[in-house]
Amino acid sequence: MGAAGYLINERKIYNPQFDKEIIDILDDFDSPFLYHSTLAEYEPSPVIELTTLAKKLGLGKILIKDEGQRFGTSAVKILGASYAVKKIFGSGSDKKGICTATDGNHGRAIAWTAKKNKLRAVVFVPDHTSQSRIKFIEDEGATVIVSSGNYDQAVDEAKKYAEKSNFLLIQDTAWGSYLKTPSYITAGYYTQLYELSEQLDRLRNPRIDAVFIQSGVGSWPSAVVHYIRRNLRSDRIKIICVEPIESDCIYESIKMSHVATTSKSQKTIMAGLNCGTTSVLAYEIMKNGVDAFMVISDLYAIDAIKYLNAPLPGDPYIAAGESGSAGLAGLLALMENHTLIELKHHLGLNEESNILLFNTENVTDPYLHDEIMSGKYYHSGE
């Protein structure tokens, strides 16, 4: 059994406080879909049901919105990057190109978007980034610069590079007055939720009781939270944020009641979630909209990867990477780890509960993935 921890958040009225310009971007729930659906590569991502796993875990339904094929970039991040570039660069600019920092997926999305719009792209990655993730970004035509430190350091270097070289920074995290671009990125993710409403309709509208959202800096999960609480106006759906135990900036921020940086090792296989500091935008949304904040060890991610990529009899195959599987990893921890029993009761999960998960990425590190699937990956324990 892996290690896990949690904080229960007694939610009050959902009313995040932002300037009007930011609220207008975040409350525009239809424009991202209207834009994405005009792209030649557009196809809605599927919703898949895992019936056998739901039965095994003692739940009603498990539904997964699978973003692994989105625009051929293997991750949900393309929705945010493409929408933000469209909104910010759309009517022309004197900038030489676009620049960002990434743990992998956002950078690949920026590279894809730059190529499509005939822009130059420079992408900074943390020093521990795997060669396969770097290659995926380079294959889209971007220049990759390996930072001298972790994710936060890479963001800092991208920021300085953009200023010095007259590039536009398209970063998926917010700080100080840098809010507008990350707001467009967050809004861009609404497309998957927009699609979901119609897909659930076709599945005869199963009642969704709980949603598990994996978090790095918090921009992607904030889109889910804001869409559910503000657009669907649902207070009833429980939302659970899931982070690696060794990279827990949101958990730490909620504990401290202010935006914080993780004090943990930042050693985790969930590379996309391995971010040091919470986005200020995400903090304001998550602190008001999320019911519980969980941290889980890599062992749960490994189990989740196996359930998706080598499914139980009767369940369909889903190609999912380490961070993509993390929402399911949180659910597994909750249902299997007896130290979380109070949280399970608080959330009211039982054999009638219907769960919504998101696979946010395909296999993005094939070497690590093969090691995990073949049982060769050595995990140093808790």
Ligand X SMILES: Cc1ncc(COP(=O)(O)O)c(C=O)c1O
Q: Residues in the site for ligand X, rule: CB under 6 A?
A: 75, 77, 103, 105-106, 172, 214-221, 272-273, 275, 323-324, 360-361
Complete DSSP assignment for 148-192: SSSHHHHHHHHHHHHHHHT-EE--SS-BTTB-HHHHHHHHHTHHH
Closest approach of ligand X to the CB of residue 152, in Å: 12
Closest approach of ligand X to the CB of residue 78, in Å: 11
**DSSP-based three-state secondary structure for 372:** helix
Nearer to ligand X, 77 or 226 (CB): 77
Nearer to ligand X, 164 or 214 (CB): 214
Closest approach of ligand X to the CB of residue 75, in Å: 5
Closest approach of ligand X to the CB of residue 197, in Å: 21
Nearer to ligand X, 215 or 268 (CB): 215
Nearer to ligand X, 52 or 153 (CB): 153
- Residues near 242 by Cβ (< 8 Å), separated by ≥ 6? 212, 213, 214, 215, 294, 295, 296, 326, 327, 329, 330
Closest approach of ligand X to the CB of residue 183, in Å: 12
Count each helix (H run) and each strand (E run) in the chain, helices first: 16, 11
Cα–Cα nearest to 330, from 373, 256, 273: 273
- Residues near 362 by Cβ (< 8 Å), separated by ≥ 6? 68, 69, 74, 75, 319, 320, 321, 324
Cα–Cα nearest to 76, from 326, 298, 286, 317: 326
Complete DSSP assignment for 26-58: HT--SHHHHHHTTSTT--PPPEEE-HHHHHHHT
* CB atoms closer than 10 angstroms to residue 48: 18
Nearer to ligand X, 213 or 299 (CB): 213
Q: Read off the tokens for 252.
A: 């730490």
Nearer to ligand X, 6 or 283 (CB): 283
Nearer to ligand X, 96 or 178 (CB): 178
- Residues near 90 by Cβ (< 8 Å), separated by ≥ 6? none
Closest approach of ligand X to the CB of residue 166, in Å: 26
Nearer to ligand X, 16 or 218 (CB): 218
CA 330 to chain centre: 13
Closest approach of ligand X to the CB of residue 125, in Å: 12
Per the CB < 8 A criterion, the answer to whether 170 and 110 are in contact is yes
Closest approach of ligand X to the CB of residue 168, in Å: 19
